[in-house]
């Protein structure tokens, strides 16, 4: 049995990893600070858009 990912899946995984490293991980600390600044855990945080 061949359990290796296809080249298509490997490419998608690479794209996803690059996206996460560029946009998601760097902003986790911002999200945490915004969340902690709210009165309630369930308050809506400010929308944050990247250019």
45 within 8 A of 38, measured Cβ to Cβ:
yes
Q: Is 40 left (phi over 0), alpha (psi -120 to 50) or beta?
A: beta
What percent of the chain stands above pLDDT 70? Answer: 92
State residue 22's pLDDT score: 94
Residue with tokens 């858009």: 49
Would the pLDDT of 16 be above 80? yes
The pLDDT-based confidence of 11 (bands split at 50, 70, 90) is very high
State residue 31's pLDDT score: 86
What percent of the chain stands above pLDDT 90? Answer: 49
State residue 9's pLDDT score: 97
């Amino acid at each position: 049995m061949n359990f290796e990912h296809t080249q298509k899946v490997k490419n998608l995984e690479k794209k996803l990893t690059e996206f996460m490293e560029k946009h998601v991980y760097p902003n986790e600390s911002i999200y945490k600070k915004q969340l902690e600044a709210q009165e309630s855990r369930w308050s809506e945080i400010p929308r944050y858009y990247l250019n």
